[in-house]
Amino acid sequence: MSSGQSSAPALAPVHGENEQPQVTYTEFHPRWYRPQISTYWWLGKWPYVKFILRELTSVAVAWTVAVMLMQIFALTHSGAFYDGFEALMALPVMILVNVIAFAFLVFHSVTWFNLAPKAMAVRVGGKRVHGILISGPQYLAWIAVSAIVLFILATRT
């Protein structure tokens, strides 16, 4: 059985057996090693990547709000404004950006609904209500509102 084999991958080289260690003492406690956190720490694990993507959804939310404000501005002004807005939104790059923004918004909504049962500890008869009974109605309401919007869009065009 081998013992004490040094592999030292990506870290400091192992000390040789005959090497005399350089002993330096501090006054009150030994020298602690404080690992540095890489800028790319979040790439190491999928839950961390998911967390960063969730934080980035705020950009998509801000973008969607800006587009909606632009649309309202165009609607309240002359037809030329709205034609210009429609032409802008029909550009392939804008369609691509909006599809990405939509995907981020769906992700944002799902994480929000999944958070609700964590934040709301509802108890009935002394027992905590299962999470699905808190997030479920929110999902149902979301689907219902989306269906109504889709229905209006389908019947008006």
Residues that bind another protein in the complex, under the rule CB under 8 A: 1-9, 11-15, 21-25, 30-35, 37, 41-42, 44-45, 47-48, 51, 55, 115, 118-121, 123, 126-128
Name which of 58 and 146 has its Cβ closer to another protein.
58
Residue 66 CB, shortest distance to another protein, in Å, is 24
Least distance from C-beta 102 to another protein, angstroms?
A: 23
Nearest CB to another protein, comparing residues 95 and 116: 116
Tokens at residue 153, please?
């869009």
Helix or strand or coil: residue 152? helix
Q: Between residues 81 and 113, which has the closer beta carbon with respect to another protein?
A: 113
Query: What is the nearest approach in angstroms of another protein to the Cβ of residue 62?
Result: 18
Task: Give me the least distance between CB of 155 and another protein, in Å please.
Answer: 40
Q: Measured between alpha carbons, how far is 88 from 82 in angstroms, rounded to an integer?
A: 10
Place of tokens 């939509």: 102
Residue with Cβ nearer another protein (24 or 78): 24
CA distance 94 to 87: 10
Nearer to another protein, 32 or 93 (CB): 32
Listed as own residue / partner, the contacts of 91-100 with beta carbons closer than 8 Å and 24 or more positions apart are 97/63, 98/67, 100/60
Q: What is the smallest separation between the CB atom of 28 and another protein, expressed in angstroms? A: 12
Phi/psi at 123 (nearest 5 deg)?
Answer: -120, 135
123, β-bridge pairs = 128
Q: Kindly state the greatest CA–CA separation across the chain.
A: 86
Query: Tokens 């080289």 sit at which residue?
Result: 13
Residue 63 CA to residue 78 CA, distance in Å, equals 24
